[in-house]
Amino acid sequence: MTDLPLSLYLHFPWCVQKCPYCDFNSHALRGDTPEDAYVEALVRDLDHELREPESRPLTSIFMGGGTPSLFSDRAIGRVLEAVQRRLAFAPDIEITLEANPGTADASHFRGYRTAGVNRLSIGVQSLDAAQLKKLGRIHDPGQAVAALELARAAGFDNVNLDLMFALPQQSEAQALADLDGVLALQPEHVSWYQLTLEPNTEFAARPPPLPDDDAVAAMFDAGQARLAAAGYAQYEVSAYARPGRQARHNLNYWEFGDYLGIGAGAHGKRSGAAGVIRRARHKHPKRYLESAGTAAGVQEERILSAQEMPIEFMLNVLRLNAGVPAALWEARTGLPLAALATPLAEARRLGLMEPDPGLLRPTALGHRHLNRLLELFLDA
């Protein structure tokens, strides 16, 4: 399994303020961003991870958060330089940085591009001022549009825009107006996803009035038609791209590739002689800064058992519209396809998986009832 693609995820845990729907490892910034200390911690953390030598080139890097664009272009450049001194880069490496319109800055965008970032992911979320306020966002619609214009002026020709639907009291017409506004900006990629109430968030504790299931289904169907008509093909549950613009970093996750997870709360997956190992770093920035680069910096480490492998694998690959070749199971897990025989047979009997034995792909019914399909692989 050592020929699996390898990616790198770098987590930046600070935001200007915590959004009420967000369950990611993000923390409201108090004072100045501790750039130098955090960059040094990331490098120490990477060095600790690379005590297990790694010869594979990186096919992608993703800098997420939090709000990575709170960090200066100088800091991002230092991180990428340090990574490149330690790991080879594939010639066509994809390097993504998440940015919020509220922190968009023309000089930073140009600096990010010069530093080697070649893809931006901008968290628009809505183009409706009232909805942005309900979502706790710090930008307005004009800043969202300006962020893309700044990205283009800085030389970015590969941009994703994040957009949510099924927002508090949102109508189908309002959701489609948001989507039409994003499509008018002509990004290369759109992440269009439903607002859900996640545990341990402000919205979970005090739920806002959300559209009912029928209204959400109508939004989804109409929105998918809009995206397809505009030339964006759905390739994953919430991901739509123009031809050749799929997010390669995320595809590596969904195809059960390997990735190093560096930074506060970052998760990683590496395959080797011992099996598939998952590691997680400490979530809290203070604890991470104190422990990065030592054994204490790894909060959790476990080797996946043969019993866990089916659900771990399927949680990823069944999100893909096209599915994956059945042979990918053995290539990614080292286990025979026979290990999936019982749940696969049941999934196909229920009409949730395509009958083609050479393909692992949900049917249209399987996509609509993905949780039911995944349950079949929990005890495989």
| Tens-digit pLDDT profile for residues 27-62 | 777 777 899 999 999 999 999 999 999 999 999 999
- Span 62-88, average pLDDT: 96
Handedness of CA 229, 232, 235, 238 (dihedral sign): negative
Instruction: Supply the angle between the helices 106-115 and 73-86 in degrees, to the nearest 10.
Output: 10
> How, if at all, do strands 14-15 and 27-28 pair?
parallel
Give whole-number Cα distances, 228 to 219, 223, 295, in Å: 14, 9, 48
Kindly indicate the confidence band of residue 16, based on its pLDDT and cuts at 50, 70 and 90.
Answer: confident
Q: Give residue 136's pLDDT.
A: 83
User: What is the CATH architecture assignment of 6-252?
Assistant: Alpha-Beta Barrel (3.20)
pLDDT at 291: 96
For the chain, residues classed under CATH 3.20.20.70 are 6-252
pLDDT (0 to 100) of residue 23: 67
Closest Cα partner for 21 from 167, 173, 236, 228? Answer: 167
Quickly state the pLDDT bin for 137 (edges 50, 70, 90).
Answer: confident
Nearest Cα residue to 33 out of 80, 73, 88, 70: 70
CATH architecture of the domain 309-375 equals: Orthogonal Bundle (1.10)
Query: What pLDDT is recorded for position 2?
Result: 53
Residue linked to tokens 């806002």: 208
Is the pLDDT at 211 greater than 70? The verdict is yes
CA distance 176 to 112: 32
162 SS3 class: strand
- Owner of token pair 């009958």: 355
Residue 77: pLDDT band by 50, 70, 90 thresholds? Answer: very high
**For tokens 């994953």, what's the residue?**
236
Alpha-carbon distance of 41 to 35, in angstroms, equals 10
Domain with CATH 1.10.10 in the chain: 309-375
Q: Structure tokens of 140?
A: 């307005």
Q: Residue 296 class from Cβ within 10 Å (0-12 exposed, 13-18 middle, 19+ buried)?
A: exposed
Residue pLDDT, tens place only, 182-206: 999 999 999 999 998 888 878 878 8
* E strand spans, the chain: 6-12, 14-15, 27-28, 58-65, 89-99, 119-125, 159-165, 189-194, 233-236, 239-241, 258-263, 267-272, 275-281, 298-303, 324-325, 359-360
Ramachandran quadrant class, 231 (left: phi over 0; alpha: psi -120 to 50; beta: rest): left
Q: What is the residue-averaged pLDDT of the chain?
A: 93
What's the mean pLDDT in 273-286?
93
Provide mean pLDDT across the span 327-342: 95
